[in-house]
């Protein structure tokens, strides 16, 4: 009888969902928002694997402080006295704000204090079993305190920008976080490049690092037979930052239209160098050949990928290269630099083309090769499509992540 009772209690425990607190400074604030949308996609799938996620993210003007979306509770903590002062998150400039002034440092400290307190409250009120954070900064800083005071298992995920900061400020940042990082149950990264970057800072982390690519929404990104390919359309979905090397793309495209004058370049993005890039297009006499547009919702982005003949990401030390893998799922031929996590996505001359970084000539040659050799281009597009659907679809990746979470609480 005692054994039967133990078995019954065990089965009840196994059916009890794992309560997961997810810390992130980037999460959709409203329907159609693309900020941290891949995290929302991952969490939506976790609910079918016996995991009940609860999200904690910063508040932003216009966003609800507490809501439930797709069965997931979302809490957004306030960290300033007014909406107009809540400018640390969602803008891609957190590190610049913090490092730019003494007042920025104090604002960031207040941000972290409010983040921690909100996390402690949720852990207590929601009976959390495990904590998962996205990005080493700021979530990892908050998790360091949570791990010490709660003893809960911790899982961290990194996507690129935080690892670049870790490398740049290794002595200051990692010295503070080393003990916490080594105590993690698991640290997932989106590419082998990021894994190697972390190991170059601390080889002792090898046993807890695991490569787990970003999940893609196959119901959003797919080949749409109703949208015809535009044979002379080259697309780049990017940000106007030094890392993305958009100025090199503009120079390369000037060479492309010398041989293929009907070709058009559509650049979708925003960022601090946008005015400089716009000026470069004008002074290069490319106004009729280059269009610059703002970020668009994912459904519109799918249509862009389906129209494109070639999708280019001319970036250096990219953590992953999401625009390339999304384009592959939509059946476009892709071209990227042989740098960073892009080499995890593109196998040269099999699933796309890789070119030498910072080479105007190599980039122009690669674009022309894809434009002019339609059979080769279609072959790469088909192989890329098959690879992307096998590697990046959301359900299998969510299952792997769910296994990590369940193992953390065993």
CATH topology of domain 233-391: Rossmann fold (3.40.50)
Is residue 400 scored above 60 in pLDDT? yes
| More reliable by pLDDT, 233 or 99 | 233
> 1 falls in which pLDDT band (50, 70, 90)?
low
> 10 falls in which pLDDT band (50, 70, 90)?
very low
Is residue 224 scored above 50 in pLDDT? yes
Please tell me the predicted confidence (pLDDT) of residue 18.
Answer: 97
> 105 falls in which pLDDT band (50, 70, 90)?
confident
> 22 falls in which pLDDT band (50, 70, 90)?
very high
Please tell me the predicted confidence (pLDDT) of residue 252.
Answer: 98
Average pLDDT value for residue range 73-79: 97
Please tell me the predicted confidence (pLDDT) of residue 5.
Answer: 46
Average pLDDT value for residue range 32-42: 89
Average pLDDT value for residue range 134-158: 96
Query: For all residues of the chain together, what is the average pLDDT?
Result: 92
**Least confident interval from 5-14, 25-34, 358-367:** 5-14
Is residue 152 scored above 90 in pLDDT? yes
Three-state DSSP string of the chain = CHHHHHHHHHHHHHHCCEEEEEECCCCCCCCCCCCCHHHHHHHHHHHHHCEEEEEEEECCCCCCCEEEECCEEEEEECCCCCHHHCCCCCCCCHHHHHHHCHHHHHHHHHHHHHHHHHHHHHHHHHCCCEEEEECHHHHHHHHHHHHHHHCCCEEEEECCHHHHHHHHCHHHHHHHHHHHHHHCCEEEECCHHHHHHHHHHCHHHHHHEEECCCCECCCCCCCCCCCCCCCCEEEEEEECCHHHCHHHHHHHHHHHHHHCCCCEEEEEEECCCHHHHHHHHHHCCCCCCEEEECCCCHHHHHHHHHHCCEEEECCCCCCCCHHHHHHHHCCCEEEEECCCCHHHHCCECCCEEEECCCCHHHHHHHHHHHHHCHHHHHHHHHHHHHHHHHHCEHHHHHHHHHHHHHHHCC
Is residue 285 scored above 80 in pLDDT? yes
Is residue 93 scored above 70 in pLDDT? no
Q: How confident is the model over 327-364, as pLDDT tens digits?
A: 999 999 999 999 999 999 999 999 999 999 999 999 99
Is residue 8 scored above 60 in pLDDT? no
Q: Is the dihedral of CA 234, 240, 243, 248 positive or negative?
A: positive
Is residue 6 scored above 50 in pLDDT? no
The rounded percent of the chain whose pLDDT value lies above 70 is 93
Please tell me the predicted confidence (pLDDT) of residue 166.
Answer: 75
Q: How many C-beta atoms lie closer than 10 Å to residue 167's C-beta? A: 15
Same topology for domains 15-215+394-408 and 233-391, yes or no? yes
Report the C-alpha gap between 89 and 59 in whole angstroms: 8
**Least confident interval from 152-156, 174-178, 263-267:** 174-178
Is residue 267 scored above 70 in pLDDT? yes
Is residue 135 scored above 50 in pLDDT? yes
What residue ranges do the domains of the chain occupy? 15-215+394-408, 233-391
Please tell me the predicted confidence (pLDDT) of residue 138.
Answer: 93
Please tell me the predicted confidence (pLDDT) of residue 329.
Answer: 97
Is residue 13 scored above 50 in pLDDT? no
Among 22, 41, 30, smallest CA distance to 215 is for 41
- 15-215+394-408 CATH: 3.40.50.2000
Q: How confident is the model over 168-215, as pLDDT tens digits?
A: 766 677 888 999 999 999 999 999 999 999 999 899 999 999 999 988
Please tell me the predicted confidence (pLDDT) of residue 98.
Answer: 64
Paired tokens of 37: 């949308």
Is residue 11 scored above 50 in pLDDT? no
Is residue 12 scored above 60 in pLDDT? no
Instruction: Tell me which residue has tokens 């969602």.
Output: 90
């Amino acid at each position: 009888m005692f054994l039967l009772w133990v078995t019954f209690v065990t089965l009840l425990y196994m059916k009890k969902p794992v309560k997961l607190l997810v810390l992130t400074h980037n999460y959709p604030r409203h329907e159609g928002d693309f900020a941290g949308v891949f995290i929302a996609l991952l969490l939506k799938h976790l609910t079918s694997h016996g995991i009940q996620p609860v999200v904690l993210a910063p508040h932003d003007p216009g966003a609800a402080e507490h809501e439930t979306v797709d069965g997931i509770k979302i809490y957004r903590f306030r960290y300033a006295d007014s909406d107009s002062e809540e400018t640390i998150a969602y803008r891609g400039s957190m590190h610049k704000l913090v490092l730019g002034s003494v007042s920025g440092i104090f604002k960031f400290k207040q941000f972290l204090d409010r983040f921690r307190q909100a996390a402690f409250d949720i852990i207590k009120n929601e009976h959390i079993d495990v904590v998962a954070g996205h990005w080493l900064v700021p979530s990892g800083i908050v998790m360091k305190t949570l791990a010490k005071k709660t003893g809960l298992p911790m899982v961290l995920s990194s996507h690129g920008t935080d690892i670049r900061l870790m490398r740049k400020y290794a002595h200051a940042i990692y010295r503070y976080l080393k003990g916490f990082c080594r105590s993690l149950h698991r640290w997932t990264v989106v590419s082998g490049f990021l894994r190697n970057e972390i190991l170059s800072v601390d080889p002792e982390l090898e046993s807890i690092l695991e490569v787990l690519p970003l999940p893609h929404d196959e119901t959003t990104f797919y080949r749409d037979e109703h949208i015809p390919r535009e044979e002379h359309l080259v697309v780049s979905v990017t940000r106007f930052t030094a890392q993305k090397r958009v100025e090199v793309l503009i120079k390369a495209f000037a060479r492309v239209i010398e041989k293929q004058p009907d070709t058009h370049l559509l650049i979708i993005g925003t960022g601090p160098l946008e005015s400089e890039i716009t000026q470069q297009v004008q002074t290069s006499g490319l106004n009729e050949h280059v269009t610059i547009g703002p970020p668009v919702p994912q459904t519109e982005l799918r249509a862009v990928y389906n129209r494109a003949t070639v999708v280019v990401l001319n970036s250096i030390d990219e953590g992953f290269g999401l625009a390339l893998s999304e384009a592959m799922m939509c059946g476009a031929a892709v071209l990227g630099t042989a740098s960073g996590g892009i080499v995890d996505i593109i196998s040269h001359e099999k699933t796309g083309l890789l070119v030498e970084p910072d080479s105007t000539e190599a980039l122009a040659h690669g674009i022309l090769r894809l434009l002019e050799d339609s059979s080769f281009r279609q072959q790469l597009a088909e192989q890329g499509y098959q690879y992307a659907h096998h590697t990046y679809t959301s359900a299998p990746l969510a299952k792997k992540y769910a296994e990590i979470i369940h193992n953390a609480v065993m």
